[in-house]
Amino acid sequence: MICKNEADRIGRTLEAVRGLSDDIVVVDSGSTDGTQALAARLGARVVEHPFEGYGPQKRHAETLCRHPWLLNIDADEVIPPDLAQEIRALFDGSGPAADAYRIRIAEIFPGEGAPHRFAYALTPVRLYRRDKGAYSQSPVWDRVELVPGATVAKLRGTIHHFSVRSLGDQMTKLNAYTDALVADMAARGDGVSVLRLVLEFPANFLKAYIGRRHILRGAYGFMTAMNFAFYRYLRVAKHIEAKRLAKARERGFR
């Protein structure tokens, strides 16, 4: 688990996995709210490491783990009892049949106790053999890259993702993430059409509100869809602004 300033959420996350392994590794990147002490009290092995991007941070965490199988969860995610039992069952007898397992991750909004029946969900690889996969080095995309020929299966259970503390906190987090995205786009030499300034917000609002079914989540679904759309627009706007400022500096302007 990688984290920073998650004292309000990491407790229930760690409590849910304490029975799954005798080696729980938390890589902290400079928390100032007591996250480190809380994680240590709950049995985690806490290691400080400067944040260098999502992929590199999780790669570093992988190197610290003692066992051949790794389970990655974020500080705002909770393994419910049924999924914990399913994971335990994999290691009974002869052990897991596959090299890696995809696990459904469903978002839970404030005021909800469990994932909505039609909640938007991703199904990434989260449980895997360390000799069959590792997190990519991408600073913005945290995904497990598997070796050729690795076998993949899917678990039935769902990770509960409490990703939104509040609308304001979500916007602050997304704003910071756009900076990382813009830097990554610049490093890869990606270009963005000015036309996307016009299209990005409405297209992504529809993507979240209709495509990700936020329409079924009431007023809060509408508000989070608006946040998502603005975040996607801001990513494009910041990228175009950065290119504009770079050209201005080339001409001697500040």
The model carries a pTM of 0.92
Strands 152-161 and 100-107: parallel
CB 66 within 8 A of CB 118: no
Q: Please enumerate in sequence order all residues whose Cβ is within 8 A of that of 22, keeping only pairs 6 or more positions apart, or say none.
A: none
* pLDDT, tens digit, 9 for 90 and up, residues 114-128: 898 889 999 999 999
> What was the pLDDT predicted at 117?
86
Instruction: Using alpha carbons, list the distances in angstroms from residue 141 to 56, 127, 137.
Output: 10, 17, 8
Q: Please enumerate in sequence order all residues whose Cβ is within 8 A of that of 191, keeping only pairs 6 or more positions apart, or say none.
A: none
69 DSSP β-pair partners: 129
Euclidean distance between CA atoms 148 and 132, whole angstroms = 9
127 DSSP β-pair partners: 71, 101
Euclidean distance between CA atoms 145 and 133, whole angstroms = 5
> What was the pLDDT predicted at 254?
67
Q: Which fold would CATH assign to domain 2-161?
A: Spore Coat Polysaccharide Biosynthesis Protein SpsA; Chain A (3.90.550)
Euclidean distance between CA atoms 13 and 79, whole angstroms = 7
Residue 149, both tokens: 């020929």
Instruction: Using alpha carbons, list the distances in angstroms from residue 102 to 95, 130, 219, 243.
Output: 17, 15, 31, 38
> What was the pLDDT predicted at 249?
81
Average pLDDT, integer, range 52-65: 96
Map out the domains of the chain as residue ranges: 2-161, 167-250
Average pLDDT, integer, range 209-222: 95
- CA 44 and chain centroid, separation: 20
- CA torsion, points 200, 201, 204, 206, in degrees to nearest 10? -130
By C-alpha distance, which of 111, 108, 120, 41 is closest to 80?
108
* pLDDT, tens digit, 9 for 90 and up, residues 147-161: 999 999 999 999 999
CB 100 within 8 A of CB 129: yes
By C-alpha distance, which of 159, 161, 1 is closest to 80?
159
* pLDDT, tens digit, 9 for 90 and up, residues 30-52: 999 999 999 999 999 999 999 99
Euclidean distance between CA atoms 49 and 198, whole angstroms = 40
Residue 231, both tokens: 């975040």
Q: What is the mean pLDDT of the chain?
A: 94
